Structure formats: C-alpha cells, structure tokens
Structure 1
Amino acid sequence: MLGALAALPAVTTDMYLPALPEVASDLATTTTAAQFTLSGTLLGTAVGQLVIGPLSDRFGRRLPLLIGISMHVVTSLLCAIAPNIGLLIGLRVLQGFFNAAASVVAIAVIRDRFTGSDAAKLLSRLMLMIGLAPLLAPTLGQAVAGIWAWRAVFYSLALIGVILVVIVWRWMPETLPPERRLSRARKGSPKTGEPGGYRILLRDRRFLAYAVIPGLAMGIIMSYVVGSPFVMQEEYGLTPGQFALIFAVNGVAMVISSQVNASLLSRASSSGILRIAAPILLVLALALPVIIITGAGGIFGLVASLWLVLGMQGFIFANATSLALDGYGRMAGTAAALLGCLQVGLAGLISPLVGVFGGSALSMAGVIIGCAVVMVLVLATTPAYRRGGQRGNRRLETGQGSNAAAEQA
C-alpha cells in the first residue's frame, strides 16, 4: 500500500510521457508548451510537499492523505476535459500539488513506526515500487492513449486515485495518534502552519547533509533521463524501440540494488553502507568519460557503465533518507516534505545542465560526475558521517526531536 502511494507522483508523470506529441497536436500548441505540463507537475509536487507535510504532523496522516488523493482524482478528471494548453498546465500543477500527499505520507508513516535500519529497509522496499513506475507506466500510457487517445490517460489516473482512496480509507490505520501531533506538543515545540518546523530543519547541518544526498542522487537519475534519449538515438544510432529496451534495463538496476540494500541492512548500518556506496559511485561515474572518449565496448560499454552508476542509487536514497529522518519523529511529515522538495528542486536544477553543456554523452557524464563529487564532499564534511551516524541515534534515545517513549510504547 505504501509503495503504491509513494509511486503515485511518478506514475502521474511517466504514464503521460508517450502522449506528449499527441497533446501538442490536439491542442494546437508547441512541443515546448506541451513539455511545460511535465515541468508544472514537478513544480506542484515540490510546493505540495512543503504544505502537506506539516499538515500531516498536525492533523494526522489519514486526513491530509485522503484529501490529497481525492483532489488528485478531481484534477485528473479536469485534465481529461481541458480545452487548451494553458488550462492543462495549470491543472497539472494542481495535480502535482495534491498527489504530493501520497509520497510525503508514505515516508512519514514509515518514520512513525520504524527508525534506523528498519526504516531504511522499508524505504528500500518502497524503491521497488517507485522503480517500477518508469518501467511500466509509459507502456501502460502508450496502450491507453493508443486505443482511446491522450485524454484517456487522465481518466486512468483518476481511476488509480479512486482505488487508492478506497484502500487507504479501508485498510490504512492512523499512525500518528493525537498525543504525538504537533498541535498538542509541549510548550516550545514547533507549531505546524508556522515556519518554525522548517527553521529547525534548515538549521540542522546533519539533516541538511543527509537531505541533500537523495536530491543529488535524483539529479543523477534525471540527468540520465534527460540526456539518454538524444545520446543513444542521435550519437549511437539506436532506434526508439532499442532505446526503450535499454531504458527499461537500466531501470531494473535501481530496483535490484534497492532490494540488495534492504538485505544488507540486516548486517550493516545505513551510515556504513552509505560510506562505502558514495565513493564507489564516484569511481564508476569517472569511468563514463573514459568509455565515451575511447569508445571501449561501444554502446554496450556505455550501457554497462550507466547500469552500474544507476544501480548505485539504490544504496544511496533509502539510507540517506533514513538518516535524515532520525531524530524527527514528532515532525516526520515536515521532515519528509523538505526531503521531497529538495529532491525535486535539486533534480530540476541539475538535469537541465546536460543540455546547457551541449546535450552530448560527455556533458551527461560530466553532470553525473559533478553530482557524485558533491555527494562525497558533503558526506566527508558531515561530522555525523565520520562517527557512523551515532548522533542521530543519540537524538532518538534522548527524545530530542521525537518522543522516544511514545514510539517504544
């Protein structure tokens, strides 16, 4: 259930991708304007997380989630009947805003119930569902649009939302009881709806370090997503069908690594895995320009290198997210919201650099290397990283930022 919720924003974006040319043609607009319907969704998701996360800390997880998914259904139906591109872009922003509730609450629910390696294991399981979205959603969207035209994609998204509302209403318990909500917190705790919660997070160097790392990982993924269609089809001469196959294979790398990470957490800590994974990612990224310049292995060499680089993200995302959330049990929704916003925001800032630097294979590799270098530097200069993440554990034990006694009960 949580996996399906976490994947909803990705499905909303990826299922719509094959229909973009038809949208531009049917609404008599440009390709650039049609692409804004994707950018608008990401913008709405980033803002929505910042709003919905604190609300879930104040009013519990179920109510904001049910309202958010219900409004996702409404906006999906309105998108299906949008008469022009301007209105469609505006509705897509709202759609992203409301379905942000699904991903924020899914992560907050895990933090309500689990901490440390247990939380990281479940976050790795969520990556399985999130990783399947780019593999299956475009194919499903192509099938739906091919039979019933592009507007049917939004009817399908509305149907998915209805199913999720029923599942959440029927089977999802409230994981944040009233006595742990910020509106009833003890004097001096940050109040939801005020900027206090975000102020605390933004002043926490440890939180920011671990929150930036998933954003850099998402920047690597989105740089690949943005650059690979042009690199593989124009530079290496692949057909659209061949590219789609390679895209799916590389997506499998992230799914596999996230599940391997979940298994490793039975024997190692999140900080320990992250300490090893980040330098390995940098080494693999540095191999990309060597393969591109020398032509070693041709397209197979490039695909194999990208497979390994993308696969390393499964060891980065879940562990960094779990470490960032440690110590913020009382405001898990707010912390998850800022995490999500940083991911979307950094990915949105980083991925266009591929085109700015020329849109070539080398420019894609350069952006990926830049992200990996910054990731290693952030970890190396974070005190909690050198101590193996023990600071977060002490915060939990002392109850700072979370109610350890309530969680234990």
Structure 2
Amino acid sequence: MASSPSRHYEIRTLILLGLAYGFAYYDRMMMTFLTPFIVPEFQLNNTQVGALGAALSLSWAIGAYILGRWSDSLGVRKPFLLASLVIFSACSVLSGLAIDFWTLFASRLLMGLVEGPFLPICLAIIAVVTPARRRGLNIGIVQNVFGAILGTAIAPILSVAIAEMWGWRFSFYTAALPGFILAFLIWRYVAEPHEPAQPMGAKGTSTGPGMLEMLRRRNIALCAVIGCLLVGSVVLGSIFLPLYLTRIRGFEPGHMATIMAILGLCPPIGGLLVPFLSDRVGRRLPLVVFGALMAVTPLAALYFQGSSGILTALMFLGWIGLGTFPLFMGVIPAETLSGKGTAAAMGLVVAIAELTGGVLAPLGAGRLADAYGLQSPLLMAVAMALIAGLVALFLEETNKAAQDAAQLETEAHAS
C-alpha cells in the first residue's frame, strides 16, 4: 500500500472497520437489552446484573491494553483484528448456550478479552489511512456511527424482537454470523497499515512509551480520568435504564426497547457532530460541553413526569454527549502520542476507563440499587457526567491549528 492511501481505499477501510466494530458493540450491548428476559430465568439480583456488565468490562480493559501493546510490539494490526472478530463471534454463541449465571459470566469474560483491543486497533488503522483534516470525523464515524447504529439503535429492537419470538438465546446465536463474514472481507480487502516511524531521539522502547511514561503525559492521564467518568455514566445508564423504565416507570419491554433504540441514534449523531466541531474549533471545548450534557439523560429518567415523547427527547439530547467518546478514547491520545505506541495509548485509556467506569461502577451501583433502589445508579451517572465536563477543562489542546483558525475568524468578524 502506498504511503498516502487513496480516498477510495480510505472509504473502503472506514466502512469495513466501522461494520466490524459495530457488530462487536452489538454483541456487547445485547446483554443490557436482554436482561428483562434473562433475569427471571436465572433469578438474578441487581448485583449479579451489574456483575455481568462488569465481567465484560474487566476483560475488555485487560485486552485493550495488553493486546494493543502486543500489536504495537509486533508492528502489525490486521492479524489481531481478524482473530478478535472470529473469537468474539464464537463467544456470542457461547453466551446463548449458558445454563446459569456463572456460565454466562464466563462467556462474557472471554468475549471482553478479545473485543477489548478491537477498538484501539481499528482506530490506530484509521489514524494511519486518514489525513489529519478528516481524522476526528472518521474516528467518530467508526466508533460512534457504526457502533451506535448497530449496537444501540438496531440491537434493542432486533434482539428483543428475536427474544420475544424464539427466546433470548437465539438473539446471541444470530449475532455471530456477521463477525465471521466481516473477518473474511477484512482479510481480503484491508491491507496491513504502514505507520510513521518515531522521531529520532524519541523516548520509549521500540513498542512506544511504557505505561507510566504515557500516564505522565497530561492529556493521556486526563483522558483516562474522563474515560472513567463518562464510561461509568453510560455503562450505568445502559445497564440500569432498561430496568428502571420497566420496573419503576412501568413501561412494557417493547416500549422500553423503542426508547432505548431511539437513544441508540444519539451516538451516530453525536459521533458526527462532536468530532466535526472538534476538527474546526479544537478538541477541548466540545468535550467539556457535551461531556457534561450527558447528565441530562439520567436526570430526565429520574425526575421528568411528562409525556413519554418529551421524556425520550430529553434523554436523547443528553446522550448526544456520547459523541465525545472518539475524542478522549482515540483522537486526543493519538494526537498527543503520534507514531509508535498509539494503539497502546488508546488501549491504556480504554483499559483504565473500563476497569473503573465499566467494572467498579456497575458493581458498586448494583449493590446500591439492592440497598436503596434503582434510582441510585442513575444518580451516580449524573454526577459522573458533570465531573467529567469539569475535568475536561484542564486538557491541553491538540488541534491548535483549528483552534487558531476559529479564533482568527472570530476576531475578523469582531473587527
């Protein structure tokens, strides 16, 4: 492949990797929409429901950093991508074959391990084949447009419909086939990327900077903190909103699935809007504003007592903030730490975010929900989003060219 990939190849890679990540996220999110069916069959409590989400997040975090760094050390991306696709598709079948809580827990644990490095490696490839002027937008498309359309818009409707017709196990079985197909297409049509070499005298090993050195970079550390908070906020919302809407608000499962499917359109819209704005006004301001905006979704679920339509609209507005995820998980780490080590840097942010926001938060929230009610996890989600917006104020701008251009345009209009 040439050092400057063609626009045609860029689009083809974008579509294939976007679809692959979308179905990986579909597999991950199905569990949240199927809990109303699984809970009564296995007689699960809220702590166990939180543990199922935490199991996948824990192994996702481990896989994101360790396998991402292994990919950096070998200097290859494609073999890791293909292996991940095949194995997590097989794990989806295993989830459908579960006979009790522990077998389901084990299948989600294994699935998270192989899905974890998938996003960092996808984003590392996209960062190489995409010019800087479209990098934020393309990373947002892969992570939030494809991931959200398949994982949070289509998944609740399709998985619940299949569960109602044939049982929840068949929802997992049908999720496996797209992964096998996409593994073949990526093997056939996506080349191993050629990444830029590190500058002379750059610190770190041939795999890039080590974990501690990366965390000494202000932006990497702050992105990890923001990730803890925003991943925690959305994970708690994803796990406990379906239960809160059905048990406390009294919505039928089909009504709940419709609301969650509409909310599933937030990431693709936010994933276009927020990175697009960040390509033009800088990364920090959109992350501050839209990160804090995520508090509106759980607040509306808790306190708005009006019509279902307005409730859904308010919740929709809040989760537009999911468009910030490509910024703190991909764009800012990649621009802070260019060259070798980008997959590990992204994987490190994902790992820390998943371990805290994806593992500890749902476990703690599950216990609080058992003790004090299902409103507790949603109150936690509100606080996490607001604090994340505050932390983002301290980021160093990585898209200074866009920020300077926006400032010059503002000064020109003022004069």
TM-score, length-normalised on structure 1? Answer: 0.77
Give the superposition deviation at 1:331: 0.8
Deviations 1:45-101 (A, max 9, x none): 121112210122122101111222233344445555556653443233122211223
Residues 148, 267 of structure 2: 8 Å contact kept: yes
1:1-400 equivalence runs, <5 A: 1-17=16-32, 29-32=42-45, 36-59=51-74, 60-79=76-95, 81=97, 85-114=101-130, 118-126=134-142, 127-132=144-149, 133-146=151-164, 149-176=167-194, 180=197, 189-192=204-207, 197-265=210-278, 267-278=280-291, 281=293, 285=296, 288=299, 297=306, 299=308, 302-314=311-323, 316-321=324-329, 322-328=331-337, 329-348=339-358, 349-351=360-362, 354-355=365-366, 356=368, 358-361=372-375, 363=376, 366-382=379-395, 384-385=396-397, 390=400
SS in structure 2 at match of 1:13: helix
Letter in 1 for 2:212: R
- The 1:31/1:118 distance shift into structure 2, 3 A limit, reads same
The CA deviation string for residues 11-66 of structure 1, in whole angstroms up to 9 with x for no partner, is: 1123345555666777xx43246775544323221211122101221221011112
Deviates more, 1:299-308 or 1:59-68: 299-308
**C-alpha distance in structure 2 between counterparts of 1:19 and 1:342, whole Å:** 27
User: Could you say if the C-alpha distance between residues 246 and 51 of structure 1 is closer, same or farther in structure 2, counting changes exceeding 3 Å?
Assistant: same
Q: How far is 1:3 from its partner?
A: 1.2
- Judge conservation of contact 2:279–2:399 (CA < 8 Å) in 1: no
| Per-residue deviation, residues 95-119 of structure 1 (Å, max 9, x unmatched) | 2211223222111112223475522
Q: Structure 1 stretches of 5 or more lacking a match?
A: 394-409
Indicate the larger mover: 331-340 or 143-152.
143-152
Any gaps of 5 or more consecutive residues in structure 2? 1-15, 404-415
Give percent identity, aligned residues only.
Answer: 21
Aligned residue type for 2:19: A
CA offsets 1:161-213 (integer angstroms, 9 cap, x no match) = 21121011001111145x8499xx98953254x9x621221222221112332
The question of whether the paired residues in 2 share the 8 Å contact of 1:144 and 1:153 is answered with yes
Q: Flag the 1:379–1:144 CA change in 2: closer, same or farther, 3 A.
A: closer
Is the Cα–Cα contact under 8 Å of residues 326 and 392 in structure 1 kept in the other structure? no
Residue by residue over 1:200-230, the C-alpha shift from the partner in whole angstroms, topping out at 9 and shown as x without a partner, is 2122222111233244222222232233234
Query: 1:396 matched to which residue of 2?
Result: none
Task: Decide whether aligned partners of structure 1 residues 263 and 92 sit closer, same or farther in structure 2, where only a CA change above 3 A counts.
Answer: closer
Distance 1:320 1:248 in 2: 25
Distance apart, 1:260 and its partner CA: 2.4
Query: Does the 8 Å CA contact 1:45/1:96 hold for their aligned counterparts?
Result: yes
Residues 145 and 181 (structure 1 numbering): CA distance in 2 closer, same or farther, change over 3 Å? farther
What is the CA deviation profile of residues 214-262 of structure 1, one whole-angstrom value per residue up to 9, with x for unaligned ones? Answer: 4422222223223323443344332222222222222223322222234
Structure 2 CA distance, aligned partners of 1:50 and 1:16?
Answer: 23
Q: 1:279-330, CA deviations, whole angstroms, 9 ceiling, x for partnerless residues?
A: 6x28x649948x966x56465554333222111232x222333112213221
Residues 122 and 85 of structure 1, relative CA distance in 2, 3 Å threshold: same
8 Å Cα contact 1:131/1:251 also seen in 2: yes
Contact 2:20 2:179 in 1 (8 A): no
TM-score by length of 2: 0.76
Distance in 2 of aligned mates of 1:392 and 1:339: 24
Structure 2 counterpart of 1:125, which letter? I
Post-superposition CA distance 1:124-145 (Å, at most 9, x none): 2121111121221233334444
Tell me, in whole angstroms, the C-alpha distance in 2 between the residues paired with 1:36 and 1:292: 23
Q: Distance in 2 between matches of 1:83 and 1:372?
A: 36
- For 1:66 and 1:245, how far apart are their aligned partners in 2? 33
CA RMSD of aligned residues (A): 3.7
| Counterpart residue identity of residue 131, structure 1 | A
Counterpart-to-counterpart distance in 1, 2:290 and 2:40? 45
Q: How many residues align?
A: 377
